[in-house]
Structures are given as structure tokens and as C-alpha cells.
Structure 1
Amino acid sequence: MMKPLFIAAALLAVAPLSYGQGQITLICQPACSVPSVSSNELSELVTNPALPTNIDWQTAKLSTPASDAEQQLHQQQLVTKLAALAEQLQKQGDVIQAQRINILRQRIAELKAIGAYPLSLDPDVVRLKPEYSPKLAGDYRLTISSIPQRELTLWNSSRTSMTWVPGKQTSEYVGIEQQQPGIDADTVTVIAPDGSTETVPTGYWNRRYHEPQPGSQIWLNLQTSAFGQEYQSLNQEIIHLLTQRTVAP
């Protein structure tokens, strides 16, 4: 996680010095009772009485119009990159992999991603130390939901989602899906609701006990060894985008 000092500097750098406090647009699921609030610092924002009750702070994200625009540009560049890869695979006769990449491209194009700052918005965390509550100045967007997410989202799988089951291991959710050609059979990447990621060994010989949190995303890693050099970072690029995914409107 980014150090609090650097987060504070980044948050203060988003607006002219003439702004006395942060103006925060609320993006809520379900809809908020007010469209926006004003706050001088992060702790004041996350405890604002105008916010809905029962917010799922794990999935809450704070961004700016500029950071959102930058993330959406990266998303579009990734969609273009996937389209080029699918076309290349099709020409090489790898129809199955080309089809998988095209399906992935469509899903990536449709998801909602924002340029969130890498910091916790949980009021219990923010109020622990002053450095966890940077000053706010300028325009921000707070994306929040009070609807707990229970479903698991799967990527590069024949299923796009699965019901989360208490006690069920990550390897049990992916199982036969990892036997598809072009998919890494040894590990998957689990993206928790708070955006943190973990590489989980799921192969027959290296399997490790791991239970995903409800609302997690499971990324079945692509085997990129047969791709060109320009596609070797594809897994990392997509995983980063998925950490910025939001289910709020």
C-alpha cells in the first residue's frame, strides 16, 4: 500500500490551492439521499452523517475525475491490445485461444473501472492515526455500496460467476477450468473485494489451502509463453485493472 505521506501529497495535488475543502460526488448503490458532500479530510468524509448506513467499506473507492479518466484510457488501450492479440491468434490458426481472448476483450470493455487511490476508507482504520486521514482539497468521487457482494466473479472460465460457499477452497472453484489449453494449470490470482491480490497455488502437486472472501474475483492466468513480447505483461495489466473494478453504477 502507498505510504500515507505520499497519499496525502497526491490527494492535495488534485486541485488548485484556492479550494478550501474537498467536494465529493457520491456514486452509490443503491442511490444516496444526497448527490455530494464536502469534507476537509478523509476521516470527516467517511463519518459524514449524510452517507448511507451499512456501507461495505472493503469495496469503497475514492478517486478523482482525472484519475478515473486515466484509468479508463488504460482500459481502452487494453481492449485494443486484446483485439490485436485475438486477430493474431486467429491468423495463426489458434481458433480456441482467439475465441477466449475475444470473449475476454468484450468483458473488459464492459466492466466499470475507476482510478481509485490505494488507501483504506474503513472509518475504524482512518481514525487510528492522523496520517491515515489526509486533507482533502478539490473534486473527488466516492464510490460506495451498501449491498454485500456474495458472488465470486470468474475470468477466463466457462462461467462468469459462482456462488460463494463457506469453507470451499479456491482450487475447488476453478478445478477443471484450469485444464483448458492456454490456461496456467498451477496458479490463479485472487482479487479480494478491497483490491488486494494473492497468487494461489492450485495445481495437483503445489496446491495450498485457500478460501476466497465472498465477493472476490478469480483470475485464471493466461499462458503467455506463446505470445509475442508485447503481450508478456498481459496478466499483470488485466489484474491491475480488475483491482479497480467497481460494481456501483
Structure 2
Amino acid sequence: MRMLPFSAFMLSLLSQSLYAAGTVTVHRTDSGETLKIQNAQRLSDVVSQPALAHSWWPGAVIGVTGKTRDQQARHQQLLARLASLAAQESGDDAAAIRQLQQQMAALKVTDRQFVDLDPDVLRVRTATNKPLAGDYTLWTGKMPGYITLYGLVSGAGNRPFTPGKSVAEYLDETALLSGAERSYAWVIYPDGRVQKAPVAYWNKRHVEPMPGSAILVGFSQRLFSSAYDDLNAQLVDSLTHRIPQ
């Protein structure tokens, strides 16, 4: 077998390494600045960039650029389903669904990768330091000072974050709309974790959202037909893939 010259061998290894590396487009949500990181071999090569030193990593979102259309298509299916259901209902039920559809239409989603981006975690737990290959988009910024209410609630939107305040206490400050689930709410944490929080008088637990969390009041399964059985799951899916504000 003919042996490659050493220089050709090294060039071959280098080209393979470059091919396997990732290119990450970074959007700073706090400043509006955009920057590009080339030839990132692993997640640690991204989060260790000096320009990102003051990022709040629990709320950062990284997605595969080429797969974002798939998640956007699923989100559009959710919007179409909400519009169709609103057309089938009437009165307060229809108005509540239309309001929810408007909330979801304002969301931008991406093909979020559920990976740990904390530099300390990546350094200590090497298995979390995933290799990169291809094009990615990263959104990062400072820790927000609010949580956001979504779903069948009056006056959905941002609320000031208060340390120690529970999900139930945030919901006590707003009215629930027709068809709303009154026993549970979903908490979507900034890192993508989801928790179902009991909020009724008979099952209430003290669940505290962290800054940047979304609180979703979904549809009550008791008031609607089986057509709504998996609608809450679709809502949660879009919220876990949302692009940070």
C-alpha cells in the first residue's frame, strides 16, 4: 500500500477536523449584536468565547439552523389547529381560543437542542460537552427580570419576577378564560425543562418559576372534547422551542 507523505497526511486530518467543526451564529438578545464563531469543535469552544463572558447560560438557546424549518412547520400546524377550533366554537370559548392563537402567533421557534451550556458543567462533566458539526444559531443575553404568562388567561404577557413567588400566586393576579385548566399550570423553565404545577385550592404546591420562565394555562380536559387531548402538549412543545426575547 502506498504511504501518503507526512504533510499530505496532516492536511487530510486537518480537513476532516474542519469538516466536523461547527459554525455558530450568535444573537445577543440584550444588545442586538450578532457575531459568528467559526470552527467550533465542541460546545465549550462556543461558551468560552470572551464576547459571551457575561451571558446568562440557563436561558440560552442553541438550535440546528438547517432543521429550524421542521419546528416552524410544527408550530404553524398548531396555529392552524387553533384557528380551526376557534371557528368551530362560539361565544367565550371561541374568543379564548382566538386570544391564545394570537399569543402563539407572536412566538418565534427554532430547532432547540436540549444541551447544557453552562461552562462549568461542560468542564466538569465532559460527557455533556457535545461535538459540533454544521451550522447552529445561538441566542443568549442577560438574565431577564420577568416571567411570562401564556394560555387561557386574561392579560397574558410579561410579569415582574418576584423571588419566592409561586406559580399559583402569579395566577391569582389574573383571571382565567373560558375553558381554562384550573387545577394545574405548566412551567416551562428557560433551560427547556417542563413541570406541571398544582395550583388549585385542593392540590396547591409551592412551585417557584425562575426568571425567564413561561407559565402556561392550558385547556381543561373536562370541558372540551377529545379533539383537545393533545393540544396542551403541542402548546408546551412550541414554548420549549421558543426563541428568547
TM-score over 0.5 for the pair: yes
Name which of structure 1's ranges 156-165 and 233-242 shifts more when overlaid on structure 2: 156-165
Please say if residues 178 and 184 of structure 1, whose CA atoms lie closer than 8 Å, have aligned partners that are also in contact.
Answer: no
Match status 1:60 vs 2:53: no
Give the C-alpha shift of residue 161 in structure 1.
2.3
Please say if residues 63 and 137 of structure 2, whose CA atoms lie closer than 8 Å, have aligned partners that are also in contact.
Answer: yes
Query: Which residue number in structure 2 is paired with residue 47 of structure 1?
Result: 48
Counterpart of 2:85 in structure 1: which amino acid? L
Rounded Cα–Cα distance in structure 1 between residues aligned with 2:21 and 2:173: 52
Please say if residues 44 and 122 of structure 2, whose CA atoms lie closer than 8 Å, have aligned partners that are also in contact.
Answer: yes
Where 1:34 maps in the other structure, the secondary structure is: strand
Rounded Cα–Cα distance in structure 1 between residues aligned with 2:117 and 2:211: 19
Deviations 1:24-60 (A, max 9, x none): 11122223463343311111221123x3331010111
User: Within 5 Å, which residues of 2 pair with 1:136-147?
Assistant: 136-145=132-141, 147=142
Give the C-alpha shift of residue 226 in structure 1.
4.1
Name which of structure 1's ranges 233-242 and 216-225 shifts more when overlaid on structure 2: 216-225
Query: Which residue number in structure 1 is paired with residue 145 of structure 2?
Result: 150
| Unpaired runs of at least 5, structure 1 | 1-15
Please say if residues 26 and 143 of structure 1, whose CA atoms lie closer than 8 Å, have aligned partners that are also in contact.
Answer: yes
Q: TM-score, normalised by structure 1?
A: 0.84
Query: Which residue number in structure 1 is paired with residue 35 of structure 2?
Result: 34
Where 2:124 maps in the other structure, the secondary structure is: coil
Q: 1:125 to 1:247 in 2, by over 3 A?
A: same
Counterpart of 2:217 in structure 1: which amino acid? L
Give the C-alpha shift of residue 232 in structure 1.
1.1
Q: 1:98 to 1:182 in 2, by over 3 A?
A: same
> Alignment length, in residue pairs?
227
Rounded Cα–Cα distance in structure 1 between residues aligned with 2:176 and 2:135: 47
Counterpart of 1:216 in structure 2: which amino acid? S
**What's the Cα RMSD here?**
2.1
Query: Which residue number in structure 2 is paired with residue 3 of structure 1?
Result: none
Of all paired residues, the percent bearing the same amino acid is: 31
Where 2:182 maps in the other structure, the secondary structure is: strand
Give the C-alpha shift of residue 122 in structure 1.
0.8
Counterpart of 1:45 in structure 2: which amino acid? V
Name which of structure 1's ranges 176-185 and 231-240 shifts more when overlaid on structure 2: 176-185
Query: Which residue number in structure 2 is paired with residue 232 of structure 1?
Result: 229
Rounded Cα–Cα distance in structure 1 between residues aligned with 2:192 and 2:212: 11
Match status 1:118 vs 2:114: yes
| Unpaired runs of at least 5, structure 2 | 1-15
Structure 2 residue corresponding to 1:215, chosen from 209, 212, 216:
212
Where 2:210 maps in the other structure, the secondary structure is: coil
Q: 1:112 to 1:58 in 2, by over 3 A?
A: same
Counterpart of 1:129 in structure 2: which amino acid? R
Query: Which residue number in structure 2 is paired with residue 202 of structure 1?
Result: 199
